[in-house]
Structure 1
């Protein structure tokens, strides 16, 4: 943001319908390329570990490596786009993405995989912005917010879930080669579309200053530390790895120095004073709450079924339904989203999430993906009822302050979504790990050798193994092991049920707070003195 007055808006003639549809199709391809690239990493950690000859704990670094630049680079990329123009920004961004996608085909060891994933996250960072720009480019002004915003967000949010639908078919018996080639093919199609459908140029502004790079380095280090901490913290049980605490402390210090620097600049990278205003703090809290409760879908059901031994190929139907529900939520936003309906849409979304999470909280050890289709569809639909109206509210607030404030809001929104997803997933996973340990300890105490229920369970398991294991002692040992494994699986299901129930309670509490807020506003409006008609 600079003190210079923004240039006057440029009015372009409307595009022909076929060309407008081509621009919207390019937006879909760019959004899917970015979303699938992110989803391929998070959905296939065990496969990455197998291909690279590492443990799943080590392979989890690939998620952190990809998400770090996704969270921090938008801080600088939007200013680069403003100063050097949209066409150059789009062309260089998509070329970098294709080069990195080509390099990912040849990764053969863990170190090169981490480097390539970091570069892939950096190259994918511009794609979110380009997907928005290509969707908004052909639309008239009154349709940009109503159609362009929810359409772009629906496709972008569906990408990571769609990756779980197509990954089993792409992997097959050939490892991750099919995944990498698919990402490369989509990147090359995106490259062709960007060069065949150039964005309309807009007036340039000199907005980059030397201190921007200092602020970016400080904020980037802070975001990187938070990302690594909340990805690796639940894996290492937080306290088992002292370096995680030191990294989080250093990240907090780096962000504090960045805030102090930005508050004392005449033309800051971010307008901190506006970002900590009550309206923006409320919006930021709303977005973080959304990312937290939606972790029930990204970090809940897939990992619970993984703990129950369900293969990824058996979950494709569930994730396909979630993708369809998310797209339907986007269509609902197109039909119903208006500035005065944002609270109603948010209330509906929170109630649907609470209902879906409560249904999931009834899971048992025999629950399979087919039993969660309705509940997960409700949550997927609700997610798209929540995010586009929230972004529209933020854009309206930014534009009310002036066009120069739009930059700060877009930076915050694009940066905090991946960061909020990582933080929400980390907190959700930490809660589940804690509850699983507590439930397993309780179940283990109940599995005493003298307990009649335990004796009967071991006897049933041993009887089922009679044909396979003739030796009675070996058969009993195997039966005891099976009962212990069932207790472990049961403890995981109970932990996830606790997390689902907590998600439902948080969503209901948020809905109650929203209703009280709306009632307060209505009461304040009724009690306000009416203007004198005859002054």
Structure 2
């Protein structure tokens, strides 16, 4: 549409929220087409970053970078992805969905094409930052396409599927990205990503979303707020991403960035708090309901870090290659799909706390099972536990989103605030989880390593026999007895480090289980309290004797 005045919609067509498309009736084939395009858009938006995360060690060699430098690639993506939600909602509302779709998809294709010519780390970081902005737009776009695929009575199912589809990107990327690397090394990843971007662009041009209302929403002060808050959140993301690599108390920039991020975020919120027409509804965000929702999302995302930081890291510590972990990634993907499908089929607006409690219970069980691992644990020993974690990871998403949007519908002005809150909690929850668990694993590894080394002495005949055995293993290659003995000591030290890592990861798994159980107890108590207070304030049914004239008894 070319005007800003709201259109006259039929009741079933009216957009549910400002900036969302209208929902006219579609034929069954067209609904199927919308579902397929929605799935394609959501996966395309998530695959860009997932391909990089799954192949960081290989890209590190191609770019000739250190581990700390490579950590800036996923960090740059999250830094811009989180911030863009501040502007995207208003962009859709003012310029329309068509401009939103075409601008960001063309930008995505151009940025992906630019990936092919990246030859240094700084260029790669800039491209990842651009992908973060576009990825935020594509996740919303995929959700809108999925909503078109379902009738109004199944709108919540569409919300679950549209939101959860992007969560399948990481297990998918781990499954086939190694084959892409064999095509043209790291450029094979980018060629595939470019192909997905162009395919998505073509599908979206062929099958356009229905129009929505447009409103003049942007104000000059919005951009000042965006600049301040985006910078503050970006600095916070950088600290959380690199803190455990550069180490929290050793790199001076971490302290400076932390202080600056707090100051900038508080300054941005102060500006918004005193505006007559704010971008962020700070009073609404500061309400007890929204704070509890944000905390629940962050805690659940922290628990979900078990799969990426815990299980995968544990297997890599045991020198398992990506090829050996292939079957485990298949199980994770199947668990995510099962959780998504179950959530879509069972979601009930009257019982939104139950899926959260079930998800946390499943993830707690899976984490406890993993906490009994040892150096003989192999991927097949973790199939069931990782299936439970993957299932819980997608099962909770839809109900959490519905809990928030239900409160947005009562006041559409809160839409921008909720979009920012949900996006920040999702991303920061994952970053906090990875930072906490990674740091905890390093600290516990040092603790266990110290304990093990304290008991290793050559006076112990078992230790002496182990050193001799390690030296004899290279006896055919090393003739010097002293060098053989040194090699035996090194072999024993390697085994001690491996055992310390195993014990540390078991501690990590148990910590995750504790967080999951405590979060589950908190949500359960909250749900029971709400249930009891709701019943207590419910009005008593009227009796026939006091009914007004003309009333009928139900």
Q: Which TM class, normalised by the smaller chain length?
A: over 0.9
Q: Distance in 2 between matches of 1:67 and 1:528?
A: 44
Work out which of the residue numbers 406, 413, 425 in structure 2 matches 1:396. 406
Is 2:156 aligned against 1:137? no
Residue by residue over 1:196-245, the C-alpha shift from the partner in whole angstroms, topping out at 9 and shown as x without a partner, is 11111111101100000011011101110111001110001111101101
In the TM superposition, structure 1's runs of 4+ consecutive aligned residues that sit over 4 Å from their partners are 4-10, 525-530
Q: CA deviation at 1:45?
A: 1.4
Distance 1:532 1:365, change over 3 A: closer
The 1:222/1:16 distance shift into structure 2, 3 A limit, reads same
Instruction: Confirm or deny that 1:431 pairs with 2:457.
Output: no
- The answer to whether residue 80 in structure 2 is matched with residue 90 in structure 1 is no
Judge conservation of contact 1:78–1:411 (CA < 8 Å) in 2.
no
- In structure 2, the residue matched to 1:493 is 502
Aligned pair partner of 2:487 in 478, 500, 511? 478
CA root-mean-square deviation:
1.9
**Structure 1 residues 173 and 303: alpha-carbon distance in aligned structure 2, compared to 1, 3 A threshold:** farther
1:183-262 correspondence to structure 2 within 5 Å:
183-262=193-272
Matched, 1:274 2:300: no
Distance 2:525 2:269 in 1: 33
Task: Give the whole-Å Cα distance in 2 for the aligned partners of 1:185 and 1:103.
Answer: 13
Which residue does 1:465 correspond to in 2?
Answer: 474
With the length of structure 1 as denominator, give the TM-score of the two structures.
Answer: 0.95
Alignment of 1:23-422 (within 5 A): 23-145=34-156, 147-172=157-182, 174-399=184-409, 401-422=410-431
Contact 2:73-2:125 at 8 Å conserved across structures: yes
Cα-to-partner distance string for 1:328-373 (whole Å, 9 max, x where unaligned):
1111012211012222211111110010000110111221222111
In the alignment, is the contact (CA less than 8 A) between 1:6 and 1:403 conserved in 2? no
Is the CA contact (8 Å cut-off) linking 1:75 and 1:415 kept in structure 2?
no
Cα offset for 1:377? 0.5
Q: How does 1:499-514 map to 2 (within 5 A)?
A: 499-514=508-523
**In structure 2, distance between residues paired with 1:382 and 1:394:** 19
Please say if residues 144 and 162 of structure 2, whose CA atoms lie closer than 8 Å, have aligned partners that are also in contact: no
Q: Greater CA deviation, 177-186 or 509-518?
A: 509-518
Contact 2:111 2:130 (C-alpha < 8 Å) held by counterparts = yes
Moved more, 255-264 or 509-518: 509-518
- Give the Cα–Cα distance (whole angstroms) in 1 for the partners of residues 270 and 383 of structure 2: 48
Deviates more, 1:162-171 or 1:349-358: 162-171
Count of residues in correspondence between the two structures: 530
In the aligned structure 1, how far is the partner of 2:542 from the partner of 2:497? 73
What SS does the corresponding residue of 2:276 show, helix, strand or coil?
A: coil
- CA deviations on 1:434-490 (whole Å, 9 max, x unpaired) are 111211122222222323332232133233333444443222211211111111111
- Structure 2 distance, partners of 1:168, 1:498, is 30
What is the CA-CA distance between 1:69 and the residue it aligns to? Answer: 0.7
1:440 aligns with 2:474: no
Alignment check: 8 A CA contact 2:332 2:386 kept: yes
Judged with a 3 Å threshold, the aligned counterparts in structure 2 of structure 1 residues 528 and 411 are, in CA distance, closer, same or farther, namely closer
Q: Secondary structure of the equivalent of 1:73?
A: helix
Q: Is residue 357–residue 500 contact of structure 1 (8 Å, CA) maintained in 2?
A: yes
Unaligned runs of 5+ in 1: none
Q: Is the 8 A contact 2:96 2:211 kept in 1?
A: yes
Q: Secondary structure at the match of 1:267?
A: coil
Closer/same/farther in 2, CA of residues 130 and 523 from structure 1, 3 Å limit: closer
Question: What SS class does the counterpart of residue 179 from structure 1 fall into?
Answer: helix
Q: SS in structure 1 opposite 2:350?
A: helix
Match of 2:529 in 1: 520
Deviation at 1:258, TM superposition (A): 0.6
TM-score (norm 2): 0.92
